[in-house]
Amino acid sequence: MQLSEILSAEGVRLVGAASSKKRLFHDLGELAETCYGLDATRVVEALLEREALGPTGVGQGIALPHARLEGLKKVSGLFLRVEKPLDFDSVDRQPVDLVFALFAPASAGVEHLKALALVSRTMRDASICAKLRANSDPSTLHAILTESETTQAA
């Protein structure tokens, strides 16, 4: 599995600011509806349900919200770079500016975990995060996220 299989170029956005985690989830819901035809309200509900189990802010300004959804055919992702970092109840209490959301079919087993591990590994790479923070063009952000596959394969 590669990030280019999960993340479409249309699923990458720069967000000026989000007033709250819930508002950010609404932005993700709208983007999931646009990119993957998912019901925005259901996406927001699923993200909030998952977040209630424990915050998905993993530290160092990164959040990995994720949810399982009925009607989804394959694991799909969205990436947001938030220009004005927001509180995400992260483990290190630092505000979040890089958000990689992952959605899996309700019936997905190991594929969901593999995708989450791949995203987590990618977002733990300090050089990738530095490049993401230094760029604001969505196509450049997508290229940064998916280019590591080709360099690792070589």
Distances from the Cα of 100 to the Cα of 40, 67, 94, 150, angstroms: 17, 12, 16, 20
Q: Is 26 a catalytic residue?
A: no
Catalytic residue among 26, 66, 112, 142: 66
Task: Kindly give the interhelix angle for 126-134 and 110-123, rounded to the nearest 10 degrees.
Answer: 70
Amino acid occupying residue 128: I
Contact between 36 and 102 under an 8 Å Cβ cutoff? The reply is: no
Amino acid occupying residue 49: E
Which residue spans within the chain are E strands per DSSP? 7-17, 57-59, 62-63, 66-69, 76-86, 96-105
Using the structure block, give the residue that is written with the tokens 């990689």: 100
- Distance between CA 152 and CA 150 in Å, rounded? 5
Residues designated catalytic: 66
